[in-house]
Chain A
Amino acid sequence: MSLALTVDGVPYEVPDVPGNANLADVLRHHLGLTATKDACYEGRCGSCSVLLGGVLVTSCTVLAADVTEPVVTAAGVGDVAGPSDVQRALVEAGGVQCGFCIPGMVMAATDLLARNPDPTEDDVRRGLAGNLCRCTGYGRIVEAVLTAARGRAST
């Protein structure tokens, strides 16, 4: 089947998509948009997190054919030339080691700060609870999100 998707503000026509394909596979394998990672395919690890119509979801558990809202990935939040405050804080805090989980972390943190601009550490840990990192032990990631929140409060 052919799908019409808007990803990071860019409209796409995606031909030859299997009817049961999930959104993560379409982003990565049909569109070549590899900012979104794929790992567990069970919605548990959070590496494929995106915003769908402004709502945080794991794209591996979203039926691509059911998508009508705009999709925002970590590449749409910011890039190397113009990182978002969350992305910059992650780099500066040393929150990025192997980096595989980071696009999902960026999406979960971006969603959290949009809903709760003044989170406690506990709020951040709960907000990121669906995103697994096997490298950092989370401390610096949490610190980065709190730093980003403080930065927003001071501007």
Chain B
Amino acid sequence: MAHADDPVLLAGGTDLMVAVNGRRRNPGTFVSLRHAADLTGLSADVDTVRIGAMTSYAELAARPPELATLPMLADLAGRLGTPAQRNAGTIGGGVGSARWNGDAIAALVALGARLDLVTATGSRELAIEDWLDRERRGGTDVLRSILVRVPTGPQVWLRVAERATAAEASATCALVVDVQRRTVRCVIGSVARSPIRALAAEALLTDALDWTRPVAGAALCRDFGRAVRREVVARTTYRVGAEHRRHLAGVLAGRALTRALGEAATAQGIA
């Protein structure tokens, strides 16, 4: 999970071995983290969940009790990749490889995750957004666990791809509303080099909501989606154009808000 090219840390292989097979990487030394006990397991206290870096997506998708307060991560883990990829792939590996269209990264940014890193001299914590800035990573640091402060409100993760399985997302949207702290985080993934926080849309929603009874009507959901679309600067790949990605981002954001705080959702006591 350190980004130094050699030696390279092996944390599942679903990204790294693809690069090795394709001869895009040729590490002289692999350091397997499969049996590193410090990097496994989940724990939860009153307001924070700690996820060991080597926790597989299959483990997260099985909805262990420690993950009960972060259903968005369990949803995500159960939907990304194939069954075999979910068995082998780890959330720490996903953070470490930090692929532009990795599904977990955007959701972790929306959750405001912090990374617990083992350094050459001890340990340190780093916001995941800072990890995405290669300059701030630290070449020899090893990701031990991911720390998430539990939000007091709805969390929604939506994904659109050419097919449901084994296809990179054309866009994802992670929306986290923290009612107690009166904050909103909306992150669009798989559209650009790094996840995009839709800050203006977040501000629009934060101002528009009645935080004593946060409900988003249809007009607000539509306006929120449009605001997200305006903020997204997307890339074109050979299958999905930038404009289409922006469109998808707006649609997903509007749907995510409807699902999180729409009248039907709040009437059912979801929010």
Distance from A127 Cβ to chain B, minimum over Cβ atoms (Å): 6
Contact A57 B87 (CB under 8 A): yes
Of the four ranges (under 10, 10 to 19, 20 to 34, 35 or more), the interface on chain B belongs to: 20 to 34
Residues of chain B within 8 A (CB-CB) of A46 are: 82, 84
Given contacts A46-B82, A129-B166, contact A61 B17 (CB under 8 A): yes
Residues of chain A within 8 A (CB-CB) of B14 are: 43, 61
Contact A129 B83 (CB under 8 A): yes
Distance from B84 Cβ to chain A, minimum over Cβ atoms (Å): 5
Interface assignment of A60: CB less than 8 Å from any CB of chain B: yes
Residues of chain B within 8 A (CB-CB) of A108 are: 83-84
Given contacts A60-B21, A61-B17, contact A43 B82 (CB under 8 A): yes
Task: Enumerate B176-208 residues with CB–CB distance to A below 8 Å.
Answer: none
Contact B34 A20 (CB under 8 A): no
Residues of chain A within 8 A (CB-CB) of B26 are: 20
Task: Enumerate A39-88 residues with CB–CB distance to B below 8 Å.
Answer: 41-44, 46, 49, 55-58, 60-63, 65-66
Contact B166 A66 (CB under 8 A): no
Residues of chain B within 8 A (CB-CB) of A61 are: 13-14, 17-18, 21, 85, 88
Residues of chain A within 8 A (CB-CB) of B87 are: 55-57
Interface assignment of A111: CB less than 8 Å from any CB of chain B: yes
Interface assignment of B122: CB less than 8 Å from any CB of chain A: no
Cross-chain contact of A22 among B17, B81, B83 (Cβ < 8 A): B17
Given contacts A56-B83, A57-B87, A61-B14, contact A130 B32 (CB under 8 A): no
Contact A58 B34 (CB under 8 A): no
Q: How far is the CA of A129 from the CA of B22 in the complex (A)?
A: 23
Contact A129 B82 (CB under 8 A): yes
Contact B82 A130 (CB under 8 A): yes
Given contacts A20-B26, A66-B32, contact A44 B82 (CB under 8 A): yes
Residues of chain A within 8 A (CB-CB) of B30 are: 19-20, 63, 65-66
Q: How far is the CA of A22 from the CA of B18 in the complex (A)?
A: 10
Task: Enumerate B130-167 residues with CB–CB distance to A below 8 Å.
Answer: 164-166
Interface assignment of B115: CB less than 8 Å from any CB of chain A: no
Interface size (A, Cβ < 8 Å)?
28
Interface assignment of B27: CB less than 8 Å from any CB of chain A: yes
Interface centre among A19, A126, A130, A132 (most CB of B within 10 A): A130
Q: How far is the CA of A65 from the CA of B13 in the complex (A)?
A: 12
Q: How far is the CA of A112 from the CA of B83 in the complex (A)?
A: 10
Q: How far is the CA of A112 from the CA of B87 in the complex (A)?
A: 13
Q: How far is the CA of A19 from the CA of B81 in the complex (A)?
A: 26
Interface assignment of B20: CB less than 8 Å from any CB of chain A: yes
Interface assignment of B10: CB less than 8 Å from any CB of chain A: yes
Q: How far is the CA of A106 from the CA of B164 in the complex (A)?
A: 21
Task: Enumerate B6-34 residues with CB–CB distance to A below 8 Å.
Answer: 10, 13-14, 17-18, 20-22, 26-30, 32, 34
Q: How far is the CA of A65 from the CA of B27 in the complex (A)?
A: 13
Cross-chain contact of B13 among A55, A62, A112, A127 (Cβ < 8 A): A62
Given contacts A20-B27, A129-B164, A130-B166, contact A60 B17 (CB under 8 A): yes
Contact A66 B83 (CB under 8 A): no
Q: How far is the CA of A108 from the CA of B165 in the complex (A)?
A: 14
Q: How far is the CA of A58 from the CA of B22 in the complex (A)?
A: 16
Using CB atoms, name the residue of chain B closest to A132: B166
Q: Using a CB–CB distance below 8 Å, which chain A residues touch chain B? A: 19-20, 22, 41-44, 46, 49, 55-58, 60-63, 65-66, 108, 111-112, 126-127, 129-132
